[in-house]
Structure 1
Amino acid sequence: FDADEGSLLKYDRLARLGQRRSSRDFKNPVHVALANEEGFPHDGVMDFVDNQLDRGTGTIIGRALLPNPDLSLIPGLFARLRLPGSGEYRAILVPDEAIGSDQSQKFVFVVDGESKAEYRAVKIGPLVDGLRVVREGVTPDEWVVVAGLQRIRPGIKVDAQRETIPPPATVATADGITSTTEPSPDRRP
Protein backbone atom coordinates (compact mmCIF):
# COMPACT_ATOMS: atom_id res chain seq x y z
CA PHE A 1 0.00 0.00 0.00
CA ASP A 2 0.98 3.64 -0.37
CA ALA A 3 0.82 6.09 2.54
CA ASP A 4 0.96 9.87 2.24
CA GLU A 5 3.84 11.98 3.54
CA GLY A 6 1.71 13.54 6.29
CA SER A 7 0.90 10.12 7.75
CA LEU A 8 4.56 9.09 7.62
CA LEU A 9 5.62 12.26 9.46
CA LYS A 10 2.88 11.79 12.08
CA TYR A 11 3.81 8.16 12.82
CA ASP A 12 7.55 8.90 12.86
CA ARG A 13 7.02 11.79 15.31
CA LEU A 14 4.91 9.62 17.62
CA ALA A 15 7.58 6.89 17.53
CA ARG A 16 10.36 9.39 18.35
CA LEU A 17 8.31 10.71 21.29
CA GLY A 18 7.78 7.16 22.57
CA GLN A 19 4.00 7.37 22.13
CA ARG A 20 3.83 4.44 19.71
CA ARG A 21 6.20 1.84 18.32
CA SER A 22 7.63 2.33 14.85
CA SER A 23 6.31 -0.02 12.17
CA ARG A 24 9.90 -0.30 10.95
CA ASP A 25 10.83 -2.14 14.17
CA PHE A 26 7.54 -3.61 15.41
CA LYS A 27 4.65 -5.45 13.79
CA ASN A 28 1.96 -2.86 14.56
CA PRO A 29 -1.63 -4.02 14.01
CA VAL A 30 -3.51 -2.92 10.88
CA HIS A 31 -7.18 -3.16 10.03
CA VAL A 32 -8.30 -3.37 6.40
CA ALA A 33 -11.60 -3.04 4.53
CA LEU A 34 -12.32 -3.53 0.85
CA ALA A 35 -14.41 -0.96 -1.03
CA ASN A 36 -17.68 -2.87 -0.46
CA GLU A 37 -17.12 -3.66 3.24
CA GLU A 38 -18.24 -1.80 6.34
CA GLY A 39 -15.94 -1.43 9.30
CA PHE A 40 -12.50 -3.00 9.06
CA PRO A 41 -13.07 -6.79 9.05
CA HIS A 42 -9.53 -7.88 8.08
CA ASP A 43 -6.82 -7.74 10.75
CA GLY A 44 -3.11 -8.05 10.14
CA VAL A 45 0.27 -6.60 11.04
CA MET A 46 2.72 -4.19 9.46
CA ASP A 47 5.63 -6.01 7.86
CA PHE A 48 7.65 -3.36 5.99
CA VAL A 49 8.00 0.40 5.51
CA ASP A 50 10.22 1.69 2.69
CA ASN A 51 13.08 4.07 3.45
CA GLN A 52 12.26 6.73 0.84
CA LEU A 53 9.32 8.68 -0.53
CA ASP A 54 8.22 8.57 -4.14
CA ARG A 55 9.14 12.10 -5.24
CA GLY A 56 6.42 12.17 -7.89
CA THR A 57 3.52 11.27 -5.60
CA GLY A 58 4.77 12.18 -2.11
CA THR A 59 3.92 8.68 -0.87
CA ILE A 60 5.83 5.87 0.80
CA ILE A 61 5.35 2.14 0.32
CA GLY A 62 4.31 -0.04 3.24
CA ARG A 63 3.40 -3.71 3.44
CA ALA A 64 1.01 -5.45 5.78
CA LEU A 65 0.53 -9.19 6.25
CA LEU A 66 -3.07 -10.36 6.54
CA PRO A 67 -4.64 -13.81 6.65
CA ASN A 68 -6.56 -14.43 3.41
CA PRO A 69 -8.25 -17.83 3.79
CA ASP A 70 -11.07 -17.07 1.31
CA LEU A 71 -8.72 -15.37 -1.18
CA SER A 72 -10.84 -12.19 -1.16
CA LEU A 73 -7.78 -9.95 -0.90
CA ILE A 74 -6.48 -9.71 -4.46
CA PRO A 75 -3.51 -7.55 -5.53
CA GLY A 76 -4.66 -4.28 -7.07
CA LEU A 77 -7.99 -3.99 -5.21
CA PHE A 78 -8.77 -0.69 -3.53
CA ALA A 79 -8.77 -1.04 0.25
CA ARG A 80 -8.97 1.26 3.25
CA LEU A 81 -6.34 0.68 5.92
CA ARG A 82 -6.41 1.80 9.52
CA LEU A 83 -3.22 1.83 11.54
CA PRO A 84 -3.51 2.84 15.22
CA GLY A 85 -1.94 6.27 15.55
CA SER A 86 -1.20 6.43 19.25
CA GLY A 87 -1.05 4.42 22.41
CA GLU A 88 -4.02 3.80 24.65
CA TYR A 89 -5.33 6.90 26.42
CA ARG A 90 -8.34 7.98 28.47
CA ALA A 91 -10.87 10.01 26.50
CA ILE A 92 -14.30 11.56 26.71
CA LEU A 93 -16.61 9.81 24.25
CA VAL A 94 -19.93 11.23 23.04
CA PRO A 95 -22.34 9.94 20.40
CA ASP A 96 -21.23 11.28 17.02
CA GLU A 97 -24.71 12.68 16.36
CA ALA A 98 -24.21 15.09 19.32
CA ILE A 99 -21.40 16.86 17.43
CA GLY A 100 -22.50 19.84 15.36
CA SER A 101 -20.62 21.83 12.73
CA ASP A 102 -20.52 25.62 12.59
CA GLN A 103 -18.55 26.22 9.39
CA SER A 104 -15.13 24.76 10.30
CA GLN A 105 -15.81 24.68 14.07
CA LYS A 106 -17.19 21.58 15.82
CA PHE A 107 -19.45 22.06 18.83
CA VAL A 108 -21.78 20.38 21.32
CA PHE A 109 -24.45 21.67 23.65
CA VAL A 110 -23.96 21.01 27.36
CA VAL A 111 -26.46 21.55 30.16
CA ASP A 112 -25.28 24.15 32.69
CA GLY A 113 -26.11 24.37 36.41
CA GLU A 114 -29.35 26.27 35.65
CA SER A 115 -30.56 23.55 33.22
CA LYS A 116 -29.89 25.81 30.25
CA ALA A 117 -28.23 24.81 26.99
CA GLU A 118 -24.72 26.15 26.53
CA TYR A 119 -22.91 26.16 23.17
CA ARG A 120 -19.45 24.66 23.57
CA ALA A 121 -16.72 24.59 20.91
CA VAL A 122 -14.87 21.26 20.96
CA LYS A 123 -11.83 19.67 19.39
CA ILE A 124 -12.66 16.17 18.24
CA GLY A 125 -10.67 13.02 17.60
CA PRO A 126 -11.41 9.68 15.98
CA LEU A 127 -14.71 7.79 15.84
CA VAL A 128 -14.79 4.62 18.00
CA ASP A 129 -17.85 2.38 17.45
CA GLY A 130 -20.14 5.37 16.81
CA LEU A 131 -18.72 7.41 19.69
CA ARG A 132 -16.57 10.47 18.95
CA VAL A 133 -13.48 11.26 21.01
CA VAL A 134 -13.69 14.82 22.36
CA ARG A 135 -10.16 16.06 23.03
CA GLU A 136 -11.03 19.54 24.34
CA GLY A 137 -14.11 21.53 25.28
CA VAL A 138 -16.03 19.35 27.74
CA THR A 139 -15.20 17.68 31.03
CA PRO A 140 -16.24 14.20 32.19
CA ASP A 141 -18.75 15.59 34.71
CA GLU A 142 -20.66 17.70 32.15
CA TRP A 143 -23.85 16.51 30.49
CA VAL A 144 -23.86 16.63 26.69
CA VAL A 145 -27.14 17.06 24.81
CA VAL A 146 -27.65 14.21 22.31
CA ALA A 147 -31.36 14.37 21.45
CA GLY A 148 -33.64 17.19 20.33
CA LEU A 149 -30.72 19.10 18.82
CA GLN A 150 -32.87 20.61 16.06
CA ARG A 151 -34.90 22.50 18.71
CA ILE A 152 -32.09 23.61 21.01
CA ARG A 153 -30.56 27.09 21.12
CA PRO A 154 -27.98 28.59 23.49
CA GLY A 155 -29.59 29.75 26.75
CA ILE A 156 -32.83 27.81 26.26
CA LYS A 157 -34.15 25.90 29.30
CA VAL A 158 -33.91 22.13 28.79
CA ASP A 159 -35.59 19.22 30.53
CA ALA A 160 -32.58 16.91 30.66
CA GLN A 161 -32.94 13.22 31.36
CA ARG A 162 -30.01 10.99 32.17
CA GLU A 163 -29.18 8.07 29.86
CA THR A 164 -26.28 5.66 29.75
CA ILE A 165 -24.07 5.61 26.67
CA PRO A 166 -23.35 2.04 25.59
CA PRO A 167 -19.55 1.68 25.68
CA PRO A 168 -17.57 0.68 22.59
CA ALA A 169 -17.14 -3.08 22.41
CA THR A 170 -13.37 -3.02 22.13
CA VAL A 171 -10.45 -0.68 21.80
CA ALA A 172 -7.25 -1.55 19.94
CA THR A 173 -4.13 -0.50 21.80
CA ALA A 174 -0.79 0.47 20.30
CA ASP A 175 0.67 -2.98 20.93
CA GLY A 176 -2.21 -4.70 19.17
CA ILE A 177 -3.94 -6.04 22.28
CA THR A 178 -7.67 -5.62 22.23
CA SER A 179 -9.36 -4.96 25.56
CA THR A 180 -12.94 -4.48 26.68
CA THR A 181 -13.72 -0.96 27.82
CA GLU A 182 -15.30 -0.07 31.11
CA PRO A 183 -18.86 1.29 31.19
CA SER A 184 -19.01 4.91 30.14
CA PRO A 185 -20.50 7.67 32.27
CA ASP A 186 -24.09 8.79 32.03
CA ARG A 187 -25.24 11.55 29.70
CA ARG A 188 -28.12 13.98 29.47
CA PRO A 189 -30.19 13.96 26.27
Structure 2
Amino acid sequence: MPKQVNHDERRAELAEAVWTLIRRAGIAGVTIRALAQESGWSSGAVRHYLPSRAAILTFAAEQLSAQAEAHLRSLPLSGTPRENLLAFLRATLPLDAESRAMMEVWLAFVGASVGDPDLAGVQGLTYHDLNAALVEVLIQLENQGWTLGSDPALGALDLQAVLDGLSVHLLLGVITPAQAEAALERSVDRLLQPPT
Protein backbone atom coordinates (compact mmCIF):
# COMPACT_ATOMS: atom_id res chain seq x y z
CA MET A 1 0.00 0.00 0.00
CA PRO A 2 1.46 3.41 -0.96
CA LYS A 3 2.50 5.75 1.83
CA GLN A 4 -0.02 8.52 2.52
CA VAL A 5 1.51 11.99 2.24
CA ASN A 6 -0.08 14.95 3.99
CA HIS A 7 0.61 17.71 1.48
CA ASP A 8 -0.51 20.49 3.82
CA GLU A 9 1.99 19.34 6.46
CA ARG A 10 4.73 19.15 3.84
CA ARG A 11 3.96 22.66 2.63
CA ALA A 12 3.98 23.93 6.23
CA GLU A 13 7.42 22.31 6.72
CA LEU A 14 8.67 24.04 3.59
CA ALA A 15 7.30 27.40 4.71
CA GLU A 16 9.09 27.09 8.06
CA ALA A 17 12.32 26.19 6.27
CA VAL A 18 12.01 29.18 3.92
CA TRP A 19 11.36 31.52 6.86
CA THR A 20 14.44 30.14 8.62
CA LEU A 21 16.53 30.79 5.51
CA ILE A 22 15.20 34.33 5.21
CA ARG A 23 15.95 35.11 8.85
CA ARG A 24 19.48 33.74 8.48
CA ALA A 25 20.48 34.90 4.99
CA GLY A 26 17.79 37.29 3.77
CA ILE A 27 15.69 36.91 0.64
CA ALA A 28 18.85 36.58 -1.45
CA GLY A 29 19.72 33.39 0.44
CA VAL A 30 16.59 31.56 -0.73
CA THR A 31 17.35 29.06 -3.49
CA ILE A 32 16.03 25.60 -4.29
CA ARG A 33 19.34 24.10 -3.19
CA ALA A 34 19.42 26.05 0.08
CA LEU A 35 15.80 25.12 0.78
CA ALA A 36 16.53 21.46 0.10
CA GLN A 37 19.44 21.58 2.52
CA GLU A 38 17.47 23.44 5.20
CA SER A 39 14.42 21.20 4.95
CA GLY A 40 16.32 17.92 4.57
CA TRP A 41 14.46 17.21 1.35
CA SER A 42 15.96 16.44 -2.02
CA SER A 43 16.00 19.23 -4.60
CA GLY A 44 13.61 17.14 -6.69
CA ALA A 45 11.13 16.91 -3.81
CA VAL A 46 11.31 20.67 -3.28
CA ARG A 47 10.77 21.25 -7.02
CA HIS A 48 7.72 18.98 -6.91
CA TYR A 49 6.00 21.50 -4.62
CA LEU A 50 7.79 24.70 -5.59
CA PRO A 51 9.35 24.58 -9.06
CA SER A 52 11.20 27.90 -8.97
CA ARG A 53 12.71 30.48 -6.63
CA ALA A 54 9.84 32.85 -7.45
CA ALA A 55 7.34 30.14 -6.50
CA ILE A 56 9.19 29.56 -3.22
CA LEU A 57 9.11 33.24 -2.28
CA THR A 58 5.48 33.75 -3.29
CA PHE A 59 4.46 30.62 -1.38
CA ALA A 60 6.38 31.66 1.74
CA ALA A 61 4.87 35.16 1.68
CA GLU A 62 1.35 33.76 1.22
CA GLN A 63 1.88 31.30 4.08
CA LEU A 64 3.15 34.10 6.32
CA SER A 65 0.05 36.13 5.57
CA ALA A 66 -2.25 33.14 6.15
CA GLN A 67 -0.59 32.31 9.47
CA ALA A 68 -0.88 35.92 10.66
CA GLU A 69 -4.56 36.00 9.68
CA ALA A 70 -5.26 32.70 11.45
CA HIS A 71 -3.54 34.02 14.59
CA LEU A 72 -5.62 37.20 14.58
CA ARG A 73 -8.86 35.28 14.01
CA SER A 74 -8.06 32.96 16.94
CA LEU A 75 -7.74 35.77 19.50
CA PRO A 76 -10.14 35.42 22.43
CA LEU A 77 -11.75 38.86 22.36
CA SER A 78 -13.91 39.04 25.47
CA GLY A 79 -13.10 42.45 26.91
CA THR A 80 -14.49 45.92 26.31
CA PRO A 81 -14.42 47.17 22.69
CA ARG A 82 -11.31 49.25 23.47
CA GLU A 83 -9.58 46.26 25.12
CA ASN A 84 -10.48 44.03 22.17
CA LEU A 85 -9.10 46.53 19.67
CA LEU A 86 -5.88 46.87 21.68
CA ALA A 87 -5.54 43.07 21.92
CA PHE A 88 -6.01 42.79 18.15
CA LEU A 89 -3.41 45.50 17.49
CA ARG A 90 -0.91 44.09 20.03
CA ALA A 91 -1.16 40.71 18.31
CA THR A 92 0.39 42.24 15.19
CA LEU A 93 3.45 43.56 17.02
CA PRO A 94 6.71 41.61 17.56
CA LEU A 95 6.34 41.37 21.33
CA ASP A 96 7.58 37.78 21.83
CA ALA A 97 10.03 35.42 20.14
CA GLU A 98 7.48 33.87 17.76
CA SER A 99 5.94 37.14 16.61
CA ARG A 100 9.42 38.67 16.33
CA ALA A 101 10.52 35.86 13.99
CA MET A 102 7.43 36.34 11.85
CA MET A 103 7.95 40.10 11.73
CA GLU A 104 11.60 39.68 10.70
CA VAL A 105 10.47 37.57 7.76
CA TRP A 106 7.69 40.02 6.91
CA LEU A 107 10.13 42.94 6.95
CA ALA A 108 12.53 41.07 4.66
CA PHE A 109 9.64 40.55 2.23
CA VAL A 110 8.69 44.22 2.43
CA GLY A 111 12.23 45.24 1.52
CA ALA A 112 12.37 42.79 -1.39
CA SER A 113 8.91 43.85 -2.58
CA VAL A 114 10.14 47.33 -3.43
CA GLY A 115 11.82 45.97 -6.57
CA ASP A 116 9.73 42.84 -7.21
CA PRO A 117 6.18 43.37 -8.52
CA ASP A 118 5.15 39.77 -7.75
CA LEU A 119 6.19 40.01 -4.10
CA ALA A 120 4.73 43.52 -3.90
CA GLY A 121 1.39 42.04 -4.96
CA VAL A 122 1.51 39.46 -2.18
CA GLN A 123 2.49 42.09 0.39
CA GLY A 124 -0.31 44.29 -0.92
CA LEU A 125 -2.80 41.53 -0.14
CA THR A 126 -1.49 41.32 3.42
CA TYR A 127 -1.80 45.09 3.81
CA HIS A 128 -5.32 45.17 2.36
CA ASP A 129 -6.49 42.25 4.53
CA LEU A 130 -5.33 43.97 7.72
CA ASN A 131 -6.72 47.29 6.54
CA ALA A 132 -10.13 45.76 5.79
CA ALA A 133 -10.19 44.09 9.23
CA LEU A 134 -9.36 47.37 10.97
CA VAL A 135 -11.98 49.31 8.99
CA GLU A 136 -14.56 46.68 9.92
CA VAL A 137 -13.65 46.87 13.62
CA LEU A 138 -13.82 50.68 13.60
CA ILE A 139 -17.22 50.64 11.87
CA GLN A 140 -18.48 48.20 14.50
CA LEU A 141 -17.23 50.51 17.25
CA GLU A 142 -19.03 53.45 15.61
CA ASN A 143 -22.20 51.37 15.46
CA GLN A 144 -21.82 50.69 19.21
CA GLY A 145 -21.75 54.42 19.96
CA TRP A 146 -18.00 55.06 20.04
CA THR A 147 -16.87 58.33 18.47
CA LEU A 148 -13.97 58.13 16.04
CA GLY A 149 -11.57 61.00 15.54
CA SER A 150 -11.70 60.34 11.80
CA ASP A 151 -13.42 58.31 9.13
CA PRO A 152 -12.94 54.52 9.71
CA ALA A 153 -10.79 54.20 6.57
CA LEU A 154 -8.49 57.00 7.72
CA GLY A 155 -8.42 55.62 11.26
CA ALA A 156 -7.40 52.20 9.93
CA LEU A 157 -4.63 53.81 7.87
CA ASP A 158 -3.38 55.71 10.91
CA LEU A 159 -3.37 52.56 13.05
CA GLN A 160 -1.47 50.62 10.40
CA ALA A 161 1.14 53.36 10.19
CA VAL A 162 1.55 53.23 13.98
CA LEU A 163 1.84 49.42 13.91
CA ASP A 164 4.46 49.52 11.15
CA GLY A 165 6.54 52.13 12.94
CA LEU A 166 6.35 50.41 16.31
CA SER A 167 7.22 47.05 14.72
CA VAL A 168 10.35 48.43 13.08
CA HIS A 169 11.42 50.16 16.29
CA LEU A 170 10.88 46.97 18.29
CA LEU A 171 12.91 44.93 15.81
CA LEU A 172 15.72 47.47 15.97
CA GLY A 173 15.63 47.38 19.75
CA VAL A 174 15.23 51.15 20.11
CA ILE A 175 12.03 50.81 22.15
CA THR A 176 10.85 48.23 24.66
CA PRO A 177 7.63 46.22 24.38
CA ALA A 178 6.20 48.29 27.25
CA GLN A 179 6.96 51.52 25.37
CA ALA A 180 5.37 50.11 22.23
CA GLU A 181 2.23 49.07 24.08
CA ALA A 182 1.94 52.48 25.75
CA ALA A 183 2.32 54.24 22.38
CA LEU A 184 -0.33 51.96 20.92
CA GLU A 185 -2.72 52.80 23.75
CA ARG A 186 -2.16 56.52 23.23
CA SER A 187 -2.89 56.14 19.51
CA VAL A 188 -6.11 54.24 20.18
CA ASP A 189 -7.22 56.78 22.80
CA ARG A 190 -6.60 59.65 20.35
CA LEU A 191 -8.77 57.86 17.77
CA LEU A 192 -11.61 56.57 19.98
CA GLN A 193 -13.94 58.18 22.47
CA PRO A 194 -16.29 55.90 24.43
CA PRO A 195 -20.08 56.23 24.20
CA THR A 196 -21.49 58.94 26.43
Is this a same-fold pair by TM over 0.5?
no
Work out which of the two has the higher radius of gyration on C-alpha atoms and give 1 or 2: 1
Task: Report the TM-score, using the length of structure 2 for normalisation.
Answer: 0.24
Higher strand share: 1
Task: Report the TM-score, using the length of structure 1 for normalisation.
Answer: 0.24
